[in-house]
Structure 1
Amino acid sequence: MIRKNQRFLSQLYIATDFIIVQMAFLLAWWLKFESGWIDFESPLPVEIYAFWSLVYGAVAVFIGILISLYSPKRKKRFADEVLKIIQVHFTSLVVLLSMMFFVKQIDISRDYLALFMAFNLMLIMLYRYFLKQSLKHLRKKGYNKQFVLIIGGGTLGRRFHDNLKQYPELGYEIVGFLDDHQVWSEMEAARYKPVLGAVNQLEDILQTKLIDEVVLALPLDAHARYARIIAICEKAGVRTLIIPDYFDFLPARPYFDNFAGMPMINVRDIPLDLAGNRLAKRLFDIVFSLAAIIITMPIMLFVALGVALTSRGPIIFKQERVGLNRRHFQMYKFRSMKVLPEGVEDTGWTTENDPRRTKFGAFIRKTSLDELPQFFNVLAGDMSVVGPRPERPYYVEQFKEEVPKYMVKHHVRPGITGWAQTHGLRGDTSIEERIKHDIFYIENWSILLDIKIILKTVVNGFVNRNAY
């Protein structure tokens, strides 16, 4: 039944994508030639546009099948799906234009093509998002479940059990455990699914119970048993997933490299290592920071005047910070502190009621207005709009010895705001928690995540009770 449901969903996606393409054609045609808002007539009959729309729909579906756009999506993020949709439709557009050029069909309106592509992407993303949310809701209600058997009742298996329980929208139900030695205490029996038997009973369990996926959560010293377990699962037509006993060392979304003909797990997968992703983020940073500078220029002039009138010293405060690839740069802020005597180095952590702050400085720090000059750092390429917050070299040297994985944050450009800051981790808060959030951001980066963080920063407001 599960396999049939998955095949039905894949076929539904294919059919709906094709229909959406034709709807986009009708909308683009009406807006361009029938609405009277742009043009009043087309140099080509509607049948020509309709034909190429059908061709485009077939090409888009074919390319989608090639790059697994219609594979099961239960475990996948919507952001990954969006990237594939964009990839499919821009590739399809290139194929369409090539075909039209080959048959000398060069009179198609460029405005129409732009509208057609915009409607395609918008409508497909909207319906897929709605469908994904609807399926999540149905799975929470108990529909379309998949059943999981965990092999290994030790720490690894119990941790996976607890984690999976936190995601009811995925629609997985744990049937139980197989373990040679584990026996639940009374308290554990109330918390965990039952131990159904020993590992060597796997074949009998698969024959008597409905199991869709088997998760291997065995310790490293059980490695020799994997081949037989996998063979039994494949014979029964059941998917097998392995949780490596060293998974704490792996990134949130590990991937395999091929090195000298051998598959290897990449311990630190960073999406921004890819040139295309770096270029997309950099273009986004330039456009956004330019817009932010123009929009906030009156506010920056007000703050600059306030700093100049309320205390002696420079308006802009420059401070050395550690950025991408551990390179040092000068970060700009509106000065909120009294000027230190010459020769005195500032290595103090700002605290509540810090006597070094000016009255106006306390206001602009609390409202984050002191951070506005950092948009110029973004334009210069030292920072990004979104990323881990940069720290002073003095603290970097200290934290890298005390906080595990602290230096991972320097694999990407530091940001004005970040995933940690949107979760209230700013100022005098836990460095360990900040790093956990920073690493999540680094390993899960996407343009959509950047936009989400910016929106959360705006919605949550710029006033922060931890900003002293």
Structure 2
Amino acid sequence: MIKNILKFLLDVASIPVIIIIAYALKFKMGFIYNVMFDVDTGFIYNHAQIEPYLEHIVLVISIWIISFYLSKVYQRYYGIFAGINEVLNIVKGITAAIGILFMVSIIFEILPQSKSVLVYGWGLGIFLMSGHRVIINHYIPEKSKKKCIIVGAKAEAQDITERILHHFQGVYEYCGTIAETCPKDIKFTIKDKFNYIGNYKALEQILLNQHIECVFVNASEYDEKSIDTLIFYCEAQKIQIFLNYSISSPLQGVASYEDLSGIPLIGFKEVMLSKKSLILKRVFDLVIAFVGLIMLTPLFIGLSIWIKSVSLKGPVFYCQKRVGLNNKEFLMIKFRTMKEDAEDKKGPTWVSKHDTRYIKGGEWIRKFSLDELPQLINVLGNSMSLIGPRPERPFFVDKISQDAPYFSMRHAIKGGITGWAQIHGRAFLTTRPLEKFKYDLYYIKNWSWMLDLKILIKTIVIVLKGEEAY
């Protein structure tokens, strides 16, 4: 609540500042150059005064704030895309506000009809209002979060923990996990924050001592009688309780839950995108890949020169067979980061941390995923998509499918340069294909072009940080 009030007040204060700066950029650049840099350049429009732009500032602020409200800028944000969603809503709100101001000014002249001032105002608004939100979100913590614990520590319970830590971190405060014993295998995405606080015998005492407000129970790890007892206890103490009865199968990502006159049923539907969705996805791929290749040409040239200079024998590009749409094989293009004979001794192996097969600088290239950039050519050639399940090599697909015949379901759409799984644990999930499979199915079931855009933005942020990559 405090954060939203502060954001609202800063928005109101920012709008006149944005109008004044936009006015100065349009009409007073010559004056600014002259005063600040003693340079006699640019135009000074003496006839254009600031007063007409501020005469109806209260109305301008009202239109701007109402547009923000209707664009849900002031809602609560949480989840892996919290920051991205907030910025996108700001862009939406400012675009609507500037559009309304332009149209209203034509009729009522509340602002002089200068398109440039409004365009500058649009860019400045996005920059300033996104900027102060980044600062507020970073330095002012949420104070109204519910304290919660997780009962259970197996895979399903860890999935719940992951959702709370990364998708509902603005709603719940994770206090710890209660289980029979502390698990040895903990998911990468929660490893740093996982907190084992005791076994089932200490449950009631922990609930009281830590003033817990919410309990999530993985029902498969807790016997039915104990669950009933816990429900009654939580009701008496006014503690919320949620039970997870989800199926313990990687296929739960495509499960649908139906009600047959009071009988709960779980159904499974075909995994595929509609024709309309496929067209939208293809257009998105073509635009981004084409623009990306043009913009990244200097980087391509620089990397090519480096690879050839440190490893004369091998080629610049490395083409590798991967399994794509409908289980068809294709050649995926990468910048070569390994020695030419990298797999001569042991055959196909996943890359590991501190791998000794890198060429000079190869580890750095992989850390920032620069080796993946040539796959934009695969995207233009229609063998890959920007976003999708990461294509595996035929050797690994055959090996994984022996234990998990449903693994080929991820080939219902084209493989991607990045995906939902990659933003949840880049290199960590490489050697955990069945865990990665869950993320892939979730992506296919919940696809939208906006999800693709958010994954792309999130990927860029993660790659620039060089997080968990090798």
Q: TM-score, normalised by structure 1?
A: 0.61
SS at match of 1:69: coil
> Is 1:135–2:129 an aligned residue pair?
no
> Is 1:61–2:55 an aligned residue pair?
no
Aligned residue for 2:37? none
Q: Which amino acid aligns with 1:132?
A: N
Q: Alpha carbons of 1:82 and 1:396: their partners in 2 closer, same or farther (altered >3 Å)?
A: same
Aligned residue for 1:114? 119
Q: Which amino acid aligns with 2:246?
A: Y
> Is 1:321–2:322 an aligned residue pair?
yes
Map 1:1-400 to 2 at 5 A: 6=1, 8-36=2-30, 39-41=43-45, 44-51=48-55, 54-73=58-77, 77-103=82-108, 108-136=113-141, 144=143, 146-148=145-147, 170=170, 172=172, 190=198, 195-196=203-204, 214-215=214-215, 217=217, 219=219, 242=242, 244-246=244-246, 282-297=286-301, 299-300=303-304, 310=313, 319-324=320-325, 326=327, 328-333=329-334, 349=348, 373-384=374-385, 388-393=389-394, 395-400=396-401
Q: Which amino acid aligns with 1:453?
A: T
Asked if structure 2 preserves the Cα contact closer than 8 Å seen for 1:331 and 1:377, the reply is yes
Deviations, residues 409-429 of structure 1 (Å, cap 9, x unaligned): 546653446664996629984
Deviations, residues 262-301 of structure 1 (Å, cap 9, x unaligned): xx9999999x969878755653333222222343235437
Aligned residue for 2:36? none
Q: Alpha carbons of 1:379 and 1:13: their partners in 2 closer, same or farther (altered >3 Å)?
A: same
Q: What's the Cα RMSD here?
A: 6.2
Counterpart CA distance in 2 for 1:388 and 1:105 is: 51
Counterpart CA distance in 2 for 1:169 and 1:428 is: 26
Q: Which amino acid aligns with 1:450?
A: L
Q: Structure 1 residue 88: deviation in Å?
A: 1.9
Q: Structure 1 residue 378: deviation in Å?
A: 3.1
Q: Alpha carbons of 1:416 and 1:75: their partners in 2 closer, same or farther (altered >3 Å)?
A: closer
Counterpart CA distance in 2 for 1:437 and 1:284 is: 23
Deviations, residues 312-335 of structure 1 (Å, cap 9, x unaligned): xx9876554333565554433578
Asked if structure 2 preserves the Cα contact closer than 8 Å seen for 1:10 and 1:70, the reply is yes
Q: Which amino acid aligns with 2:433?
A: I
Q: Which amino acid aligns with 2:384?
A: M
Q: Alpha carbons of 1:62 and 1:376: their partners in 2 closer, same or farther (altered >3 Å)?
A: same
SS at match of 2:296: helix
Q: Structure 1 residue 87: deviation in Å?
A: 2.1
Deviations, residues 193-227 of structure 1 (Å, cap 9, x unaligned): 96559xxxx9xx9xxx988x5456474998xx99x
Relative to structure 2, which stretch is displaced further, 284-293 or 447-456? 447-456
SS at match of 2:62: helix
Asked if structure 1 preserves the Cα contact closer than 8 Å seen for 2:388 and 2:418, the reply is yes
Q: Structure 1 residue 128: deviation in Å?
A: 0.9
Counterpart CA distance in 2 for 1:255 and 1:70 is: 33
Aligned residue for 1:402? 403
Q: Structure 1 residue 131: deviation in Å?
A: 0.8
Asked if structure 2 preserves the Cα contact closer than 8 Å seen for 1:387 and 1:417, the reply is yes
Pairs aligned (count):
413
SS at match of 1:349: coil
**Identical pairs, percent:** 21
Match of 1:425 among 406, 424, 427: 427
Q: Alpha carbons of 1:155 and 1:292: their partners in 2 closer, same or farther (altered >3 Å)?
A: closer
Counterpart CA distance in 2 for 1:454 and 1:73 is: 20
Aligned residue for 2:39? none
Counterpart CA distance in 1 for 2:306 and 2:242 is: 58
Q: Alpha carbons of 1:129 and 1:214: their partners in 2 closer, same or farther (altered >3 Å)?
A: same
Counterpart CA distance in 2 for 1:251 and 1:89 is: 41
Deviations, residues 363-409 of structure 1 (Å, cap 9, x unaligned): 69765687664332233343355654322445434434435874465
Asked if structure 2 preserves the Cα contact closer than 8 Å seen for 1:332 and 1:373, the reply is yes
Counterpart CA distance in 2 for 1:380 and 1:34 is: 49
List runs of 5+ in structure 2 lacking aligned partners: 34-41, 182-195, 260-265, 352-356
Q: Alpha carbons of 1:91 and 1:108: their partners in 2 closer, same or farther (altered >3 Å)?
A: same
Q: Which amino acid aligns with 2:456?
A: D
Asked if structure 1 preserves the Cα contact closer than 8 Å seen for 2:390 and 2:416, the reply is yes
Deviations, residues 75-108 of structure 1 (Å, cap 9, x unaligned): 6722222222222222323333332344477963
SS at match of 1:128: helix
Counterpart CA distance in 1 for 2:46 and 2:118 is: 13
